[in-house]
Chains A and B, each alone.
Chain A
Amino acid sequence: MIKYIFSFFQYDFMRYALIIGLFISVCCALLGVSLVLKRFSMIGDGLSHVGFGASAIALALGFAPLYVAIPIVIIAAFLMLRINKNSKIKGDAAIAIVSSSALAIGYTVAKLSGNVNIDIGSYMFGSIYTVTLEDVIITAVLSFAVIVLYAVFYNKLFAVTFDEEFASATGVKTEAYNTLLACLTAVTVVVGMRMMGALLISSLIIFPVLTASRVCKNYRSVITASLIISVFNFLAGLVFSIVLNTSPGSSVVIVSLSVFVVFTVASKIFKK
Protein backbone atom coordinates (compact mmCIF):
# COMPACT_ATOMS: atom_id res chain seq x y z
CA MET A 1 0.00 0.00 0.00
CA ILE A 2 2.66 2.51 1.07
CA LYS A 3 4.79 1.37 -1.84
CA TYR A 4 1.86 1.93 -4.11
CA ILE A 5 1.46 5.50 -2.86
CA PHE A 6 5.16 6.27 -3.12
CA SER A 7 5.31 4.85 -6.60
CA PHE A 8 3.19 7.83 -7.66
CA PHE A 9 5.83 10.29 -6.65
CA GLN A 10 8.20 9.15 -9.38
CA TYR A 11 5.95 11.09 -11.74
CA ASP A 12 6.61 14.77 -12.28
CA PHE A 13 2.94 15.74 -12.05
CA MET A 14 2.74 14.14 -8.63
CA ARG A 15 5.81 15.94 -7.36
CA TYR A 16 4.50 19.22 -8.70
CA ALA A 17 1.19 18.62 -6.98
CA LEU A 18 3.00 17.96 -3.73
CA ILE A 19 5.10 21.13 -3.89
CA ILE A 20 2.22 23.37 -4.93
CA GLY A 21 -0.07 21.87 -2.33
CA LEU A 22 2.38 22.36 0.52
CA PHE A 23 2.97 25.99 -0.36
CA ILE A 24 -0.72 26.72 -0.72
CA SER A 25 -1.61 24.93 2.50
CA VAL A 26 0.89 27.02 4.43
CA CYS A 27 -0.33 30.31 2.93
CA CYS A 28 -3.99 29.47 3.48
CA ALA A 29 -3.38 28.50 7.09
CA LEU A 30 -1.59 31.79 7.80
CA LEU A 31 -4.14 34.04 6.14
CA GLY A 32 -6.99 31.99 7.54
CA VAL A 33 -6.00 32.87 11.09
CA SER A 34 -6.29 36.59 10.39
CA LEU A 35 -9.46 36.37 8.30
CA VAL A 36 -11.41 34.05 10.57
CA LEU A 37 -10.45 35.87 13.76
CA LYS A 38 -11.29 39.19 12.14
CA ARG A 39 -14.68 37.65 11.23
CA PHE A 40 -13.97 37.95 7.53
CA SER A 41 -14.30 34.24 6.72
CA MET A 42 -16.67 34.94 3.86
CA ILE A 43 -14.12 37.02 2.05
CA GLY A 44 -12.06 34.02 0.98
CA ASP A 45 -15.14 32.54 -0.63
CA GLY A 46 -16.12 35.78 -2.34
CA LEU A 47 -12.62 36.36 -3.66
CA SER A 48 -12.30 32.91 -5.14
CA HIS A 49 -15.47 33.50 -7.14
CA VAL A 50 -14.12 36.82 -8.34
CA GLY A 51 -10.92 34.96 -9.23
CA PHE A 52 -12.93 32.49 -11.25
CA GLY A 53 -14.75 35.25 -13.12
CA ALA A 54 -11.50 37.08 -13.85
CA SER A 55 -9.77 33.91 -15.02
CA ALA A 56 -12.64 33.00 -17.33
CA ILE A 57 -12.64 36.44 -18.91
CA ALA A 58 -8.84 36.38 -19.25
CA LEU A 59 -8.98 33.00 -21.00
CA ALA A 60 -11.73 34.16 -23.31
CA LEU A 61 -9.63 37.17 -24.29
CA GLY A 62 -6.52 35.06 -24.64
CA PHE A 63 -4.55 36.34 -21.64
CA ALA A 64 -2.80 34.32 -18.98
CA PRO A 65 -5.43 33.92 -16.23
CA LEU A 66 -3.07 34.42 -13.31
CA TYR A 67 -1.85 37.84 -14.38
CA VAL A 68 -5.37 39.13 -14.86
CA ALA A 69 -6.87 37.46 -11.81
CA ILE A 70 -4.32 38.65 -9.25
CA PRO A 71 -4.79 42.41 -9.73
CA ILE A 72 -8.57 42.11 -10.02
CA VAL A 73 -8.81 39.97 -6.90
CA ILE A 74 -6.54 42.37 -4.99
CA ILE A 75 -8.92 45.21 -5.84
CA ALA A 76 -11.90 43.07 -4.84
CA ALA A 77 -10.22 42.12 -1.57
CA PHE A 78 -9.53 45.73 -0.79
CA LEU A 79 -13.14 46.71 -1.47
CA MET A 80 -14.58 43.82 0.51
CA LEU A 81 -12.47 44.55 3.59
CA ARG A 82 -13.75 48.10 3.35
CA ILE A 83 -17.46 47.35 2.89
CA ASN A 84 -17.31 45.05 5.83
CA LYS A 85 -15.89 47.73 8.08
CA ASN A 86 -18.63 50.22 7.43
CA SER A 87 -21.65 48.07 8.21
CA LYS A 88 -21.79 44.48 9.32
CA ILE A 89 -24.99 43.09 7.84
CA LYS A 90 -24.74 44.84 4.52
CA GLY A 91 -21.14 43.65 4.18
CA ASP A 92 -22.26 40.04 4.22
CA ALA A 93 -24.86 40.68 1.57
CA ALA A 94 -22.43 42.67 -0.56
CA ILE A 95 -19.95 39.80 -0.60
CA ALA A 96 -22.68 37.35 -1.56
CA ILE A 97 -23.77 39.60 -4.43
CA VAL A 98 -20.24 40.12 -5.71
CA SER A 99 -19.35 36.47 -5.50
CA SER A 100 -22.40 35.09 -7.23
CA SER A 101 -22.29 37.79 -9.92
CA ALA A 102 -18.62 37.09 -10.62
CA LEU A 103 -19.37 33.39 -10.89
CA ALA A 104 -22.29 33.98 -13.25
CA ILE A 105 -20.38 36.43 -15.43
CA GLY A 106 -17.35 34.17 -15.62
CA TYR A 107 -19.41 31.15 -16.52
CA THR A 108 -21.40 33.03 -19.15
CA VAL A 109 -18.27 34.48 -20.73
CA ALA A 110 -16.69 31.04 -20.82
CA LYS A 111 -19.76 29.60 -22.54
CA LEU A 112 -20.14 32.47 -25.01
CA SER A 113 -16.49 32.47 -26.02
CA GLY A 114 -16.88 28.79 -26.89
CA ASN A 115 -13.30 28.27 -25.88
CA VAL A 116 -12.89 24.51 -25.51
CA ASN A 117 -9.71 25.02 -23.48
CA ILE A 118 -11.69 26.30 -20.54
CA ASP A 119 -12.39 23.35 -18.33
CA ILE A 120 -15.05 24.73 -16.01
CA GLY A 121 -14.87 21.73 -13.72
CA SER A 122 -11.20 22.21 -12.99
CA TYR A 123 -11.77 25.88 -12.17
CA MET A 124 -14.59 25.00 -9.83
CA PHE A 125 -13.04 22.04 -8.08
CA GLY A 126 -9.33 22.39 -8.77
CA SER A 127 -6.97 20.36 -10.88
CA ILE A 128 -3.74 19.93 -9.06
CA TYR A 129 -2.57 17.04 -11.28
CA THR A 130 -2.43 19.10 -14.45
CA VAL A 131 0.03 21.72 -13.23
CA THR A 132 3.10 22.55 -15.25
CA LEU A 133 6.58 23.41 -14.10
CA GLU A 134 5.77 27.06 -14.78
CA ASP A 135 2.78 26.86 -12.42
CA VAL A 136 4.99 25.36 -9.76
CA ILE A 137 7.53 28.16 -10.06
CA ILE A 138 4.91 30.92 -9.99
CA THR A 139 3.15 29.34 -7.03
CA ALA A 140 6.40 28.87 -5.14
CA VAL A 141 7.53 32.46 -5.71
CA LEU A 142 4.18 34.02 -4.78
CA SER A 143 3.66 31.77 -1.78
CA PHE A 144 7.15 32.46 -0.57
CA ALA A 145 6.48 36.18 -0.79
CA VAL A 146 3.24 35.76 1.18
CA ILE A 147 4.97 33.73 3.89
CA VAL A 148 7.87 36.17 4.24
CA LEU A 149 5.61 39.24 4.41
CA TYR A 150 3.34 37.53 6.91
CA ALA A 151 6.31 36.66 9.10
CA VAL A 152 7.83 40.14 8.91
CA PHE A 153 4.55 41.85 9.82
CA TYR A 154 3.39 39.15 12.21
CA ASN A 155 3.02 41.42 15.25
CA LYS A 156 1.31 44.19 13.35
CA LEU A 157 -1.11 41.79 11.72
CA PHE A 158 -1.88 40.43 15.18
CA ALA A 159 -2.64 43.94 16.38
CA VAL A 160 -5.06 44.80 13.56
CA THR A 161 -6.70 41.39 13.97
CA PHE A 162 -7.18 41.49 17.72
CA ASP A 163 -8.19 45.11 18.24
CA GLU A 164 -8.06 47.33 15.20
CA GLU A 165 -9.52 50.28 17.08
CA PHE A 166 -6.79 50.26 19.68
CA ALA A 167 -4.12 49.92 17.04
CA SER A 168 -5.52 52.79 15.04
CA ALA A 169 -6.08 54.95 18.15
CA THR A 170 -2.49 54.55 19.24
CA GLY A 171 -1.01 55.46 15.90
CA VAL A 172 -0.42 52.11 14.20
CA LYS A 173 -1.00 52.41 10.46
CA THR A 174 -3.93 50.04 10.38
CA GLU A 175 -4.96 51.09 6.90
CA ALA A 176 -1.63 49.95 5.52
CA TYR A 177 -1.77 46.61 7.30
CA ASN A 178 -5.34 45.97 6.21
CA THR A 179 -4.25 46.62 2.65
CA LEU A 180 -1.36 44.23 3.11
CA LEU A 181 -3.78 41.65 4.42
CA ALA A 182 -6.04 42.19 1.41
CA CYS A 183 -3.12 41.71 -1.01
CA LEU A 184 -1.83 38.60 0.73
CA THR A 185 -5.33 37.12 0.81
CA ALA A 186 -5.89 37.87 -2.85
CA VAL A 187 -2.62 36.28 -3.93
CA THR A 188 -3.25 33.24 -1.75
CA VAL A 189 -6.76 32.75 -3.07
CA VAL A 190 -5.77 33.08 -6.73
CA VAL A 191 -2.81 30.77 -6.38
CA GLY A 192 -4.80 28.34 -4.26
CA MET A 193 -7.62 28.12 -6.79
CA ARG A 194 -5.31 26.03 -8.97
CA MET A 195 -5.36 23.31 -6.42
CA MET A 196 -8.73 23.64 -4.73
CA GLY A 197 -10.92 25.36 -7.29
CA ALA A 198 -13.09 28.40 -6.75
CA LEU A 199 -15.67 26.49 -4.75
CA LEU A 200 -13.38 24.75 -2.31
CA ILE A 201 -10.51 27.15 -1.61
CA SER A 202 -12.26 28.88 1.29
CA SER A 203 -12.37 25.62 3.22
CA LEU A 204 -8.58 25.50 3.08
CA ILE A 205 -8.54 28.96 4.65
CA ILE A 206 -11.18 28.36 7.29
CA PHE A 207 -10.78 24.77 8.53
CA PRO A 208 -7.22 24.85 9.93
CA VAL A 209 -7.76 27.91 12.15
CA LEU A 210 -11.20 26.75 13.31
CA THR A 211 -9.71 23.38 14.21
CA ALA A 212 -6.72 24.97 15.94
CA SER A 213 -8.78 27.41 18.01
CA ARG A 214 -10.65 24.46 19.52
CA VAL A 215 -7.56 23.63 21.55
CA CYS A 216 -5.12 26.56 21.46
CA LYS A 217 -4.95 29.30 24.05
CA ASN A 218 -2.73 31.91 22.45
CA TYR A 219 -2.24 33.42 19.05
CA ARG A 220 1.17 31.98 18.32
CA SER A 221 0.00 28.47 19.08
CA VAL A 222 -3.09 28.97 16.91
CA ILE A 223 -0.81 29.89 14.01
CA THR A 224 1.55 26.98 14.60
CA ALA A 225 -1.25 24.47 15.01
CA SER A 226 -3.06 25.80 11.92
CA LEU A 227 0.08 25.30 9.86
CA ILE A 228 0.54 21.74 11.05
CA ILE A 229 -3.15 20.88 10.63
CA SER A 230 -3.25 22.44 7.18
CA VAL A 231 -0.23 20.52 5.94
CA PHE A 232 -1.55 17.32 7.47
CA ASN A 233 -4.97 17.83 5.87
CA PHE A 234 -3.37 18.33 2.48
CA LEU A 235 -1.08 15.30 2.68
CA ALA A 236 -3.84 13.07 3.99
CA GLY A 237 -6.22 14.38 1.34
CA LEU A 238 -3.68 13.73 -1.39
CA VAL A 239 -3.13 10.15 -0.27
CA PHE A 240 -6.88 9.69 0.07
CA SER A 241 -7.34 10.89 -3.52
CA ILE A 242 -4.60 8.60 -4.86
CA VAL A 243 -5.93 5.54 -3.10
CA LEU A 244 -9.60 6.10 -3.91
CA ASN A 245 -8.99 7.89 -7.18
CA THR A 246 -11.07 10.89 -6.10
CA SER A 247 -10.64 14.59 -6.77
CA PRO A 248 -7.79 15.92 -4.61
CA GLY A 249 -9.57 19.20 -3.75
CA SER A 250 -12.68 17.47 -2.44
CA SER A 251 -10.60 14.88 -0.62
CA VAL A 252 -8.71 17.60 1.24
CA VAL A 253 -12.00 19.19 2.28
CA ILE A 254 -13.36 15.86 3.53
CA VAL A 255 -10.20 15.19 5.53
CA SER A 256 -10.35 18.77 6.92
CA LEU A 257 -13.91 18.26 8.02
CA SER A 258 -13.09 14.96 9.72
CA VAL A 259 -10.12 16.46 11.55
CA PHE A 260 -12.27 19.39 12.64
CA VAL A 261 -14.92 17.06 14.04
CA VAL A 262 -12.30 14.99 15.88
CA PHE A 263 -10.76 18.12 17.45
CA THR A 264 -14.16 19.49 18.43
CA VAL A 265 -15.19 16.26 20.11
CA ALA A 266 -11.79 15.89 21.77
CA SER A 267 -11.87 19.43 23.16
CA LYS A 268 -15.35 18.80 24.57
CA ILE A 269 -14.24 15.58 26.24
CA PHE A 270 -11.07 17.06 27.71
CA LYS A 271 -12.89 20.07 29.10
CA LYS A 272 -15.01 17.79 31.26
Chain B
Amino acid sequence: MAIIAVENLTKRFSGNLVLDNLNFAVEKGDTLYIVGENGSGKTTLVKLLLGLMDASSGKIKFDGINKNQIGYMPQQNEIQADFPASVNEIIMSGFLNRASFMPFYKKEHKNEAVQLMEKLHIYSLRDRSFRSLSGGQKQRVLLCRALCAANGVLLLDEPLTALDPLASAEFYDVLSDLKAQGVTVIIISHDVQCAVKYGDKILHLGRNDTFFGTSHEYCHSEIGKRMLVEGHSHD
Protein backbone atom coordinates (compact mmCIF):
# COMPACT_ATOMS: atom_id res chain seq x y z
CA MET B 1 0.00 0.00 0.00
CA ALA B 2 1.41 3.36 -0.97
CA ILE B 3 1.38 5.64 2.03
CA ILE B 4 2.36 8.65 -0.10
CA ALA B 5 1.60 8.85 -3.81
CA VAL B 6 2.82 11.74 -5.95
CA GLU B 7 1.24 12.24 -9.37
CA ASN B 8 2.38 14.64 -12.07
CA LEU B 9 3.77 17.05 -9.50
CA THR B 10 5.06 20.30 -10.97
CA LYS B 11 6.44 23.33 -9.15
CA ARG B 12 7.43 26.65 -10.66
CA PHE B 13 8.81 29.69 -8.90
CA SER B 14 7.67 32.62 -11.05
CA GLY B 15 8.50 30.90 -14.32
CA ASN B 16 11.50 28.95 -12.98
CA LEU B 17 10.57 25.29 -13.39
CA VAL B 18 11.96 23.40 -10.40
CA LEU B 19 9.99 20.14 -10.37
CA ASP B 20 8.70 18.87 -13.68
CA ASN B 21 5.92 16.31 -13.76
CA LEU B 22 7.19 14.12 -10.97
CA ASN B 23 5.68 10.67 -10.25
CA PHE B 24 6.58 8.31 -7.44
CA ALA B 25 5.10 6.44 -4.51
CA VAL B 26 6.37 5.51 -1.08
CA GLU B 27 5.24 2.26 0.53
CA LYS B 28 4.58 1.99 4.23
CA GLY B 29 7.81 1.22 6.11
CA ASP B 30 10.01 2.14 3.14
CA THR B 31 13.10 4.29 3.40
CA LEU B 32 13.31 6.68 0.46
CA TYR B 33 16.44 8.66 -0.24
CA ILE B 34 16.16 11.83 -2.31
CA VAL B 35 19.46 12.73 -3.97
CA GLY B 36 20.51 15.31 -6.53
CA GLU B 37 22.70 18.36 -6.95
CA ASN B 38 22.24 21.68 -5.16
CA GLY B 39 19.20 23.55 -6.34
CA SER B 40 17.60 20.51 -7.96
CA GLY B 41 14.45 20.93 -5.88
CA LYS B 42 14.87 18.41 -3.05
CA THR B 43 13.89 20.80 -0.28
CA THR B 44 11.09 22.14 -2.44
CA LEU B 45 9.71 18.62 -2.90
CA VAL B 46 9.78 17.91 0.82
CA LYS B 47 8.02 21.19 1.56
CA LEU B 48 5.37 20.31 -0.98
CA LEU B 49 4.89 16.93 0.69
CA LEU B 50 4.52 18.68 4.04
CA GLY B 51 2.00 21.16 2.71
CA LEU B 52 4.27 24.12 3.43
CA MET B 53 3.98 25.23 -0.19
CA ASP B 54 1.39 24.76 -2.87
CA ALA B 55 2.21 22.83 -6.03
CA SER B 56 1.79 24.51 -9.40
CA SER B 57 -0.01 21.39 -10.57
CA GLY B 58 -0.27 17.70 -9.73
CA LYS B 59 -1.39 15.72 -6.74
CA ILE B 60 0.02 14.42 -3.48
CA LYS B 61 -2.06 11.71 -1.82
CA PHE B 62 -1.61 10.48 1.72
CA ASP B 63 -3.18 7.19 2.65
CA GLY B 64 -3.62 6.01 6.20
CA ILE B 65 -1.55 8.76 7.71
CA ASN B 66 -2.54 11.94 9.48
CA LYS B 67 -0.68 15.19 9.36
CA ASN B 68 0.03 15.00 13.08
CA GLN B 69 1.93 11.71 12.69
CA ILE B 70 4.67 13.35 10.65
CA GLY B 71 8.09 14.25 11.96
CA TYR B 72 10.23 16.79 10.08
CA MET B 73 13.75 18.05 10.29
CA PRO B 74 14.35 21.23 8.27
CA GLN B 75 17.59 22.01 6.50
CA GLN B 76 19.73 23.70 9.09
CA ASN B 77 19.98 27.20 7.66
CA GLU B 78 16.24 27.64 8.11
CA ILE B 79 16.27 27.86 11.91
CA GLN B 80 16.37 31.25 13.66
CA ALA B 81 19.95 31.58 14.78
CA ASP B 82 19.46 33.90 17.73
CA PHE B 83 16.37 32.56 19.47
CA PRO B 84 16.60 32.15 23.25
CA ALA B 85 15.36 28.61 23.80
CA SER B 86 16.82 25.64 25.64
CA VAL B 87 17.44 22.28 24.00
CA ASN B 88 14.77 20.70 26.17
CA GLU B 89 12.15 23.30 25.24
CA ILE B 90 12.80 22.76 21.55
CA ILE B 91 12.74 18.99 21.73
CA MET B 92 9.54 18.89 23.75
CA SER B 93 7.82 21.05 21.15
CA GLY B 94 8.01 18.00 18.88
CA PHE B 95 5.21 16.43 20.88
CA LEU B 96 2.77 19.27 20.32
CA ASN B 97 1.20 17.65 17.29
CA ARG B 98 -0.07 14.92 19.58
CA ALA B 99 -0.76 17.15 22.55
CA SER B 100 -4.30 17.43 23.74
CA PHE B 101 -5.86 20.65 24.92
CA MET B 102 -3.80 20.34 28.08
CA PRO B 103 -1.34 23.16 28.72
CA PHE B 104 1.37 20.78 29.98
CA TYR B 105 3.37 17.98 28.39
CA LYS B 106 2.46 14.44 29.35
CA LYS B 107 4.72 12.40 31.57
CA GLU B 108 5.06 9.69 28.92
CA HIS B 109 6.21 12.26 26.38
CA LYS B 110 8.80 13.60 28.81
CA ASN B 111 10.13 10.09 29.33
CA GLU B 112 10.21 9.42 25.61
CA ALA B 113 12.14 12.65 25.07
CA VAL B 114 14.72 11.65 27.68
CA GLN B 115 15.20 8.28 25.99
CA LEU B 116 15.65 9.86 22.58
CA MET B 117 18.05 12.46 23.95
CA GLU B 118 20.14 9.74 25.54
CA LYS B 119 20.19 7.79 22.30
CA LEU B 120 21.42 10.83 20.40
CA HIS B 121 23.89 11.80 23.16
CA ILE B 122 22.38 15.19 23.79
CA TYR B 123 20.90 14.56 27.23
CA SER B 124 23.75 16.47 28.86
CA LEU B 125 22.94 19.47 26.64
CA ARG B 126 19.27 19.64 27.58
CA ASP B 127 19.51 22.85 29.62
CA ARG B 128 21.91 24.59 27.25
CA SER B 129 20.75 27.43 25.07
CA PHE B 130 20.19 26.23 21.51
CA ARG B 131 22.00 29.22 20.03
CA SER B 132 25.18 28.34 21.94
CA LEU B 133 25.50 24.85 20.43
CA SER B 134 27.82 23.72 17.64
CA GLY B 135 26.45 22.91 14.20
CA GLY B 136 26.46 19.17 14.76
CA GLN B 137 24.89 19.49 18.19
CA LYS B 138 22.14 21.66 16.77
CA GLN B 139 21.52 19.11 14.08
CA ARG B 140 21.12 16.34 16.64
CA VAL B 141 18.67 18.46 18.60
CA LEU B 142 16.56 19.06 15.51
CA LEU B 143 16.72 15.38 14.66
CA CYS B 144 15.56 14.56 18.16
CA ARG B 145 12.63 16.97 17.83
CA ALA B 146 11.70 15.35 14.52
CA LEU B 147 11.80 11.91 16.12
CA CYS B 148 9.51 13.13 18.91
CA ALA B 149 6.99 14.31 16.34
CA ALA B 150 7.23 11.24 14.07
CA ASN B 151 4.55 8.69 14.63
CA GLY B 152 4.49 6.97 11.27
CA VAL B 153 6.36 9.17 8.82
CA LEU B 154 9.66 11.02 9.13
CA LEU B 155 11.06 13.53 6.65
CA LEU B 156 14.66 14.66 7.07
CA ASP B 157 16.27 17.41 5.02
CA GLU B 158 20.02 16.75 4.97
CA PRO B 159 20.30 15.39 8.49
CA LEU B 160 23.96 14.38 8.11
CA THR B 161 25.74 17.49 6.88
CA ALA B 162 27.36 18.54 10.16
CA LEU B 163 27.67 15.17 11.87
CA ASP B 164 31.01 13.57 12.67
CA PRO B 165 31.59 9.97 11.43
CA LEU B 166 30.63 8.41 14.75
CA ALA B 167 27.43 10.46 14.94
CA SER B 168 26.60 9.49 11.35
CA ALA B 169 27.03 5.80 12.18
CA GLU B 170 24.71 6.27 15.16
CA PHE B 171 22.26 8.08 12.95
CA TYR B 172 22.00 5.02 10.69
CA ASP B 173 21.47 2.88 13.79
CA VAL B 174 18.57 5.08 14.81
CA LEU B 175 17.14 4.76 11.31
CA SER B 176 17.28 0.98 11.42
CA ASP B 177 15.40 1.06 14.74
CA LEU B 178 12.75 3.20 13.09
CA LYS B 179 12.52 0.82 10.18
CA ALA B 180 11.98 -2.03 12.60
CA GLN B 181 9.10 -0.03 14.07
CA GLY B 182 7.58 0.33 10.61
CA VAL B 183 8.19 4.07 10.31
CA THR B 184 8.29 5.41 6.74
CA VAL B 185 11.37 7.59 6.28
CA ILE B 186 12.19 10.09 3.55
CA ILE B 187 15.73 11.48 3.67
CA ILE B 188 17.43 14.09 1.56
CA SER B 189 21.11 13.31 1.38
CA HIS B 190 24.18 14.01 -0.69
CA ASP B 191 25.80 10.76 0.42
CA VAL B 192 24.85 8.52 -2.50
CA GLN B 193 26.91 5.56 -1.21
CA CYS B 194 24.95 5.41 2.01
CA ALA B 195 21.71 6.10 0.18
CA VAL B 196 22.03 2.94 -1.90
CA LYS B 197 23.33 1.00 1.09
CA TYR B 198 20.55 1.90 3.53
CA GLY B 199 17.69 2.97 1.29
CA ASP B 200 14.93 0.86 -0.22
CA LYS B 201 14.11 3.40 -2.89
CA ILE B 202 16.01 6.24 -4.48
CA LEU B 203 14.60 9.37 -6.03
CA HIS B 204 17.21 11.24 -8.01
CA LEU B 205 16.29 14.78 -8.99
CA GLY B 206 18.48 16.19 -11.71
CA ARG B 207 18.42 19.04 -14.12
CA ASN B 208 17.98 16.81 -17.16
CA ASP B 209 17.09 13.39 -15.86
CA THR B 210 15.03 12.12 -12.96
CA PHE B 211 15.23 8.62 -11.58
CA PHE B 212 12.89 6.74 -9.29
CA GLY B 213 13.31 3.09 -8.36
CA THR B 214 14.82 0.66 -5.88
CA SER B 215 18.40 1.21 -4.81
CA HIS B 216 19.37 -1.91 -6.72
CA GLU B 217 17.92 -0.49 -9.91
CA TYR B 218 19.64 2.81 -9.20
CA CYS B 219 23.07 1.14 -8.93
CA HIS B 220 22.60 -0.31 -12.39
CA SER B 221 21.13 2.77 -14.04
CA GLU B 222 23.16 5.20 -16.10
CA ILE B 223 22.67 8.08 -13.72
CA GLY B 224 23.25 5.93 -10.64
CA LYS B 225 26.52 4.54 -11.97
CA ARG B 226 27.71 8.05 -12.74
CA MET B 227 26.84 9.33 -9.27
CA LEU B 228 28.44 6.36 -7.50
CA VAL B 229 31.66 6.66 -9.48
CA GLU B 230 31.85 10.40 -8.91
CA GLY B 231 31.21 9.88 -5.23
CA HIS B 232 34.19 7.51 -5.06
CA SER B 233 36.57 9.73 -6.94
CA HIS B 234 36.02 12.48 -4.34
CA ASP B 235 37.05 10.28 -1.43
Q: Which residues of A contact B (CB under 8 A)?
A: 37, 151-156, 158-159, 162-163, 165-172, 213, 216-222
Q: List 29 A-B contacts (CB under 8 A).
A: A37-B83, A37-B84, A153-B103, A154-B103, A155-B92, A155-B99, A156-B99, A158-B85, A158-B89, A162-B85, A162-B90, A163-B79, A165-B78, A166-B74, A166-B145, A166-B149, A167-B96, A167-B97, A168-B50, A169-B70, A170-B68, A170-B97, A171-B67, A171-B70, A172-B68, A217-B84, A218-B88, A220-B86, A222-B84
A127–B78 CA distance with the chains assembled, in angstroms:
44
In the bound complex, residues from chain A placing their C-beta under 8 Å from that of B128 are: 217
B36 interface hit (Cβ, 8 Å): no
Q: Which residues of B contact A (CB under 8 A)?
A: 50-52, 66-72, 74, 78-80, 83-86, 88-90, 92-94, 96-97, 99, 103-105, 127-129, 132, 145, 149, 155
A216–B79 CA distance with the chains assembled, in angstroms:
19
Contact A162 B103 (CB under 8 A): no
Contact B132 A217 (CB under 8 A): yes
A221–B145 CA distance with the chains assembled, in angstroms:
21
Contact A162 B129 (CB under 8 A): no
Known contacts: A159-B93, A170-B97. The answer to whether A165 contacts B74 by CB under 8 A is yes
Contact A218 B149 (CB under 8 A): no
Closest chain B residue to A39, Cβ basis: B80
Contact A168 B74 (CB under 8 A): no
Closest chain B residue to A177, Cβ basis: B96
The total number of A-B Cβ pairs within 8 Å is: 90
Contact of A171 among B84, B89, B97, B105 (CB under 8 A): B97
In the bound complex, residues from chain A placing their C-beta under 8 Å from that of B149 are: 166, 170
Contact B103 A171 (CB under 8 A): no
Per CB-CB distance, the 6 closest pairs between chain A and chain B, nearest first, are A171-B68, A218-B86, A171-B67, A217-B129, A169-B50, A171-B97
Known contacts: A163-B80, A165-B78, A166-B74. The answer to whether A171 contacts B86 by CB under 8 A is no
A152–B102 CA distance with the chains assembled, in angstroms:
7
Closest chain B residue to A168, Cβ basis: B52
